[in-house]
Amino acid sequence: MLTKKQLDLLEFIHRRLKADGVPPSFDEMKIALDLRSKSGIHRLITALEERGFIRRLAHRARAIEILRLPESLGGSADSATSHGFKPEVLNGGRASAPAAAPSASVTTASTPAVLELPVMGRIAAGVPIEAINQVSHQIAIPQAMLSSAGHHYALEVRGDSMIDAGINDGDIVVIRETDTADDGDIVVALVQNEEATLKRIFRRDGAIALEAENPAYETRTYPEDQVQIQGRLVGLIRSY
């Protein structure tokens, strides 16, 4: 039997995996469950893993797979799901420009559906770099990674400021195009209409705080009118 907090966390992870194809970060879990520290999330994750509801995938940051759901969430004792976050091995790319709609999906009897997304450029996971403004090439993305609504595009990460969120230099991030985000979301932010960066966003006292996931980088705060949200992180692909 799960406690209420364990059930709430499992439901939150399941909901995010279904919507975005990527599990939430520990910070997002902490905010969703209104906990004061990540240590409480670690305990809940461990309890869910010990009870056989989830599995943490070794050597993959922020990778959680749901193995089964309780009946209250639509599962059964022997049910299992396949919404775990599993990065695909794809070549990283360079790029940059206005987002283009994905092309038609490609399927065969033996391969899953994929979509061609534009790689829009390199995004800074560090200090901001020049704004993205030109598409360089397309990249094939598993359709299951994409949320059902909105246009998507891909970016190549440069820098290490988001490593504690499992985002490394050279990774390809999949972004859903949107101009809104909740506190704690990882977003593409256009700063002062000329620099783009990948950061976690928070609203504080009428300003926008762009927060890194690496203690070596300071949080940068700007007036609201100097930050435009260009999209929200929904997936990640890593080359090995």
Is 76 one of the annotated active-site residues of the chain?
no
Catalytic residue from among 39, 148, 199, 239: 199
Residue 141: both structure tokens together: 């993305």
Catalytic residue from among 25, 30, 96, 161: 161
Is 86 one of the annotated active-site residues of the chain?
no
Q: What are phi and psi of 66, to 5 degrees?
A: -85, 125
φ/ψ region of 151 (left if φ > 0, alpha if ψ in -120 to 50, else beta) reads beta
Among all residues, which ones are annotated catalytic? 161, 199
